[in-house]
Structure 1
């Protein structure tokens, strides 16, 4: 039995003792170990699994302490029947009955799985040249500082603070750090009742859209633009105004005045990375006041400007509470942390907080406390300085490599961000280029998905946040050699 149930691997991060303990517990819960049959002796199991007897004894003792096993004098260890109490019995399947399938096509009120979304391979780190946007080089993650903050967030007083039911409140220390440390960097001054912590910027965008959009209301956004924002907006309204993008970001067409809500990425336009100048930002705010519409400012990658100081956030210029500010720690600390925040008038934040409560109450408070400590101790500021230096160097390296190996591709004049937006030669089929690139262990992102009015096959995006600088030029050179194969000759 033991050889069939338990498979230990010394190459895994978990110790052999931990692996054995977990596998025995899983076997008990799945009903694979009879209640009236003793587990193998520690000596026998150690011999069968080719491990030390002490490893088995320690695993058994931990399972005994956790209530999975009971010890019977001179008989050994047995499954504790109490561990299985309260579990519903698994019903037997009647394989001879062909149950009628539910008509899901009729039951579903929406089909979000049919929306076009950005696809990123989960094994991206296995590629030699991952020019992937939105991932972080593991070497840049502040492991030591994060472990310290995570450990301190697990102290007894901290656990007593965050483990209780907070209903819809956020960690007060995190709100204080957003209020005093993060927002002032962007020139934004807000009171605590104007701040809401969210599960990434994505949840903030959904909450704002759900509160302010409905059928008949007009939504304006950049084209090309952030595809997830487009999909969110289309969930609530079909009236979406697509606004073209030039070298200064979203163009301020007169039709904007007919919108009720406008979404913009002024710091580094998604996906072109161009920055909206101060004059156009002020013009947009004037239009919002005159034509009575609200603005969502997605201020991601605001810190990564390499040739000038960051332009003040649109929210910092807002005198009439027209701007709803959305920020995130995904591009600096870790995308998987899923921690963001939104800033808006108290009346909006009050309703956003109530709506968030219906969705998930609040982001996990243990994560909030760890992030709050990370900010409070200055580790985030140090991380920003490091990321700025590393990304600046990679940005210069990639710019030089593109000029040398891809002169036929046009690149917008940008001075920040963590990626390059390129327009390849006429006739380029990016889907084919993507396929050829993967065969050469290169990852790129096709840009056509960011256009919402007509297909575009000649655009693609190259990120440099996840690739070491030494691999940038070799990867660009190899990718450049594939472009002719993916381009139709006129």
Structure 2
């Protein structure tokens, strides 16, 4: 099979055609463009480059002589991978251009056009190969053994039946799958005490996407948004990217404190079910007081109902949206956190006028989330598999949370910051003599992954450098206690 890649060369009159074609082919070989496929035939290459066939024949034959290509009778020319090396490829180039200078010029070209603010954002960093570590106390990754793959495949097959496929195979313009909306209304939102009409719900590609849509719609340089301190780094970055004034709001044991700063906010973002990253659950009296403050000071609450389904020692508290009688709460939820992070499906519940505007903005970005995923998810919920999976997930989390709580109390009791009722992680504070960054680096050397917590703080201070987050969703239960014991030994070593 031949490579069908379109080839174009901006020829320079100062150099020969053969020289420039040869250089281009060598660069493609180095980048692995051709792989195991034959290069374009001499005739096709000549046609694409608008040069004579003999010019291409001479280039190919020269590359065969130099060992970069080999010819196979009736099949064409192939890259000779066995003979390649970077030094050999570089020496074969006859270009008079300095590639280093060219690359530098290109980088400068784009640097002048790109928004460098994105490079200033502080983000959570995780090793791409986290699953290769024996003790990955890493947040946001699932236990693959729990995922109901058989049931998901069944729903995928059902979604591809001839009687169903016409529902999602066409472009839906800006509409969502009505079956998924129906399932959210019937089986997901009621668990949080929420009742919503169809025009009050928008499907997104996850919580971050919902927040980005809201920032784009609601925020300007004159907008003040209150965020929890410490809090979710991505929401801080999203709203800061849209030029909002960020107001860090202090926390206490009941959640967001009712401070004077609330009166200065246009919007307040909160994670009341399990606060990110402390896992504090906002009390019912505090929820009611926050709603009263929103009415009194005329601000809107953005409720990110993060991990509402993962309460291990108590029943879930009612959502702020379910308590809202004034239309001041925008509710953001996700199937990605509970079902699969890779699924990228979320939803927003709000006043129909806001949802209509968000739908128009979403259309400009990606029209709608993939409808096949929406329909598969709708079937997964309607057939009871979602509730069954949540029960299985909750049972696993209860076991792991208990195991981790006991291990921390046994080996590292001095690091406990407060008691929590659930969530998939623990928020710990190290002794003042040990920085979280150093602790994480040294832990990685002994096969244990933890996350430094300083990235969650808007204001960097000496105190913020001593927090770490340990999650248990991705680690097996039997490895929790040994992993915590290793961390305790490391803590003693660094404290000595």
> TM-score by structure 1 length?
0.81
Which of 450, 458, 465 is 2:473 aligned to? Answer: 465
Corresponding residue SS for 1:427: coil
- The answer (yes or no) to whether the contact 1:128–1:442 under 8 Å persists in 2 is yes
Which of 163, 178, 184 is 1:172 aligned to? Answer: 178
- The answer (yes or no) to whether the contact 2:212–2:238 under 8 Å persists in 1 is yes
Moved more, 279-288 or 240-249: 240-249
| Count of aligned pairs between the two proteins | 415
Deviation for aligned residue 1:95: 3.7
Deviation for aligned residue 1:243: 0.6
**RMSD of aligned residue pairs (Cα, Å):** 2.4
Question: Residues 244-283 of structure 1: matches in 2 within 5 Å?
Answer: 244-283=250-289
Instruction: Check 1:289–1:103 CA distance in 2 against 1; reply closer, same or farther (3 A cut).
Output: same
Report the counterpart of residue 122 of structure 1 in structure 2: 128
Q: Could you list the per-position Cα deviations for residues 96-135 of structure 1 after superposition, in whole angstroms to 9, with x for gaps in the alignment?
A: 3455434333322443133110112221111111111111
Q: Give the distance between the partners of 2:450 and 2:402, measured in 1 at CA.
A: 19
Report the counterpart of residue 96 of structure 1 in structure 2: 96
Report the counterpart of residue 484 of structure 2 in structure 1: 476
Report the counterpart of residue 485 of structure 1 in structure 2: 493
- The answer (yes or no) to whether the contact 2:173–2:368 under 8 Å persists in 1 is yes
Structure 1 stretches lacking a partner, 5+ long: 3-25, 37-74, 80-92
Q: Give the distance between the partners of 1:173 and 1:96, measured in 2 at CA.
A: 62
Report the counterpart of residue 459 of structure 2 in structure 1: 453
1:434 and 2:440 correspond: yes
Instruction: Check 1:218–1:30 CA distance in 2 against 1; reply closer, same or farther (3 A cut).
Output: farther
Q: Could you list the per-position Cα deviations for residues 275-324 of structure 1 after superposition, in whole angstroms to 9, with x for gaps in the alignment?
A: 00000101110111111111100001001112221000010000011000
Corresponding residue SS for 2:286: helix
Report the counterpart of residue 334 of structure 1 in structure 2: 340
Question: Residues 128-167 of structure 1: matches in 2 within 5 Å?
Answer: 128-167=134-173
Deviation for aligned residue 1:76: 9.1
Corresponding residue SS for 1:241: strand
Q: Could you list the per-position Cα deviations for residues 334-362 of structure 1 after superposition, in whole angstroms to 9, with x for gaps in the alignment?
A: 10111100000000000000000111111
Corresponding residue SS for 1:272: coil
| Moved segments of 4+, more than 6 Å | 75-79
- The answer (yes or no) to whether the contact 1:405–1:477 under 8 Å persists in 2 is yes
Which of 215, 225, 229 is 2:221 aligned to? Answer: 215
Report the counterpart of residue 312 of structure 1 in structure 2: 318
Q: Give the distance between the partners of 1:469 and 1:448, measured in 2 at CA.
A: 27
Instruction: Check 1:183–1:118 CA distance in 2 against 1; reply closer, same or farther (3 A cut).
Output: same
> TM-score by structure 2 length?
0.80
Question: Residues 14-25 of structure 1: matches in 2 within 5 Å?
Answer: none
Q: Give the distance between the partners of 2:312 and 2:449, measured in 1 at CA.
A: 25
Deviation for aligned residue 1:368: 0.7
Question: Residues 343-422 of structure 1: matches in 2 within 5 Å?
Answer: 343-422=349-428
Structure 2 stretches lacking a partner, 5+ long: 3-32, 44-72, 78-92
